[in-house]
Homo-oligomer: A and B are copies of this chain.
């Protein structure tokens, strides 16, 4: 048993953990490990929003995705599809870099930056967005039910812990973030919006300690009763929680929620999904998770069924951000897309 906080990120505490060293988690979990030199990572969400023509959006997404193959492109990438709060179908790539300088070289390369800035983007009959998050190593945590299947940022981090102590209790998410050793991660400021005159390009600026969670599931390897339990018992409850956050999240401090399905190279759905949501603070996310009936139900069902679900893989990554380590940019997107005002 080891701490979810990697050895080189441990520091003298001014704040206490919720559980003692003798705590025994009810089931195993693991955290991704990064080299000590990986002091900041990039999590970037690139979207194409369907307006009328799905084929047009598909073509735009393929052209956008070709940029990832340029020099200094991402170390890992997922492709997903979802319907947003407006009901707009969206294709999205989630790209990870283990080095912000590498990301910046890619983003600022002539091909990428000219593509993004071109006025052609305004008139393709689709919307575009890019949402870039850059947490420092003290500001994020990961948890995986399987040590052999890293997802998301864990892939670029490159390593995996042994069984971790800080999981399976409310508050463990906070306790896994290295910064919690000394910091409450209290938010300050609010979202700030800047739009071009014609409102076709919108930028949203995040505030200090805005929090983001990506929480995923992979039911590829489930069989028989296990698959039925996930599909019939767990997934509908999960979906209800995701729809609540998407449609009524503002009441509980959730700026945006997307419940997305992974797709393969041909755009066909595969058996992996995740929720990605932006929150006013880690505390808001905690309060929802701990008290909203849909999430309590998900958690209760999961705890009940976990012995019967050996092949269902779950994971999440959670981070808080400095205000200058986030950027949300939208081109020709509908009001209410991502963090855009409605």
Contacts and interface: CB of A to CB of B under 8 A. Distances in A.
Interface in A244-298: 283, 286-287, 290-293, 296-297
Contacts of A290: 169-170
A63 interface: no
A184 interface: yes
B303 A168 contact: no
Contacts of A291: 26, 168-169, 299, 303
A290 B15 CA distance: 22
Interface stretch (A17-25, A47-55, A144-152): A17-25
B19 A283 contact: yes
Interface residues of A, number: 28
A174 to B, nearest CB: 9
A220 interface: no
Contacts of A287: 26, 169
A16 interface: yes
A100 interface: no
Given A296-B300, A300-B293, A283 B168 contact: no
Contact of A300 (B19, B286, B297, B304): B297
Nearest to A14: B16
- A20, A286, A296, A299 interface centre (most CB from chain B within 10 Å): A296
A23 B291 CA distance: 14
A171 interface: yes
Given A20-B186, A170-B171, A171-B18, A293 B283 contact: no
A292 B18 CA distance: 18
Contacts of A15: 16
Contacts of A168: 291
A300 B300 CA distance: 10
Contacts of A297: 296-297, 300
Pairs of residues from A and B, 6 with the lowest C-beta to C-beta distance, nearest first: A170-B170, A296-B300, A293-B300, A15-B16, A293-B304, A16-B16
Interface of A: 15-16, 18-20, 22-23, 26, 168-171, 184, 186, 283, 286-287, 290-293, 296-297, 299-301, 303-304
10 contacts: A16-B16, A18-B171, A20-B186, A26-B287, A169-B170, A169-B286, A169-B291, A291-B303, A293-B303, A296-B297
